[in-house]
Amino acid sequence: MAQQEEVNLKKVVPIVAIVIVIIILIVFGNKMTVNIKAGHAGVIFRMFSGGVDVDNTYGEGFHLIAPWNKMSVYSLLKQEKAEEMRVLSSNGLEISVDVSCWYLPNVTKLGLLHQKLGIDYDGTVIIPSLRSAARSVIGRYTPEEIYSTKRDAIQDEIFVETGAILDSNFIYLDKVLIRSIILPPTIKSAIESKLKQEQLSLEYEFKLAKAKKEAERQKIEAEGKATANRIISQSLTDKILQEKGIDATLELSSSPNSKVIVIGSGKNGLPLILGGDK
């Protein structure tokens, strides 16, 4: 009888074990498996062995974990945050600025980011860093510089200062863009009027320079012609003029038009041509 009970017990134990495993899988199945999507990475929190694992990052794909541990998944894709803010220029004028930044977590330090800031790090660090840098940089410039000549420089400086803050918090800053700058209407109108006057002044200076160059060109051209005429005049003797006159007379005499040529009757003894029909 005891032997029979022992045999039955051996049959029951595996069944019970299977049932327990099935129950565990049903109850804890969702907590034991993690599927990390493309462009994402995971950080694990080990409840009984040290908390956040800051040395290892879990990549894309399927992962098995103990049910008492927790996997936090972070996007590694570029993300954008935009902020509209009011800042003061160097002379205390209030200016509205719309700034945005593109960023992503430093994957090699994802564990530290999770430990220090948590899954909502973007709201904790990104916007405050962007605001701080924008206020610091814009406060060094006048409204005119902000509106016209220094916009690119301001954008670059905000990028550098924001990037320094985010880098110390395990976040990589990709780009900063100033999307719009809004000045008070009266200040904007005064700046635009001044810029227009400067543009007109530049155009006037350009026209004067162009006219001066044209006058110099005409002067050089006239001096060249005068020099050429002087050289020609000095080189033409009476004999050369007589020779050219005779050549021209001979050429005319060979034409079919009616004419009378009187040899030696013209000025300086040149032939005289009378009549002639076209």
Q: Could you read off the pLDDT tens digit of each residue along the chain, which spans 278 residues? A: 555 555 555 566 666 666 665 665 555 556 678 889 999 999 999 888 889 999 889 989 988 888 888 899 999 999 999 989 888 888 788 888 899 999 999 999 999 999 999 888 888 899 999 999 999 999 898 887 887 778 889 999 999 999 999 999 999 999 999 998 888 766 656 655 665 665 656 666 767 777 788 778 787 877 777 777 777 666 656 666 566 666 666 665 666 655 555 455 455 555 555 555 54
Q: In this predicted structure, what is the pLDDT of residue 222? A: 78
Return the number of other C-beta atoms located less than 10 Å from residue 241's C-beta. Answer: 13
Residue 7 CA to residue 178 CA, distance in Å, equals 80
- What does DSSP say about strands 51-52 and 61-64: parallel, antiparallel, or unpaired? unpaired
CA distance linking residue 261 with residue 254, whole number of Å: 11
Burial of 31 (0-12, 13-18, 19+ CB in 10 A): middle
Q: Contact at 8 Å (CB) between 146 and 138?
A: yes
pLDDT of residue 128: 92
pLDDT of residue 212: 80
State residue 195's pLDDT score.
58
* Largest CA-CA distance found in the chain, in angstroms, rounded: 170
The domain limits of the chain are 2-75, 79-183, 194-222, 238-274
- C-alpha dihedral, 111 to 177 to 131 to 165, nearest 10°: 40
Beta carbons within 10 angstroms of residue 58's beta carbon: 19
d(CA 175, CA 47): 38
pLDDT value, residue 267: 53
pLDDT at site 214:
77
Write the single-letter amino acid at 154.
I
| Number of residues assigned to the chain | 278
Grouping H, G, I as helix, E, B as strand and the rest as coil, residue 149 is helix
For 97-100, the CB contacts below 8 A with 24+ separation are 97/134, 97/138, 97/178, 97/180, 97/181, 97/182, 98/178, 98/179, 98/180, 98/181, 99/130, 99/134, 99/158, 99/176, 99/177, 99/178, 99/179, 100/176, 100/177, 100/179
Task: Note the pLDDT of residue 261.
Answer: 53
Query: In the CATH scheme, what is the homologous superfamily, with its name and number, of domain 79-183?
Result: Band 7 domain (3.30.479.30)
pLDDT of residue 145: 82
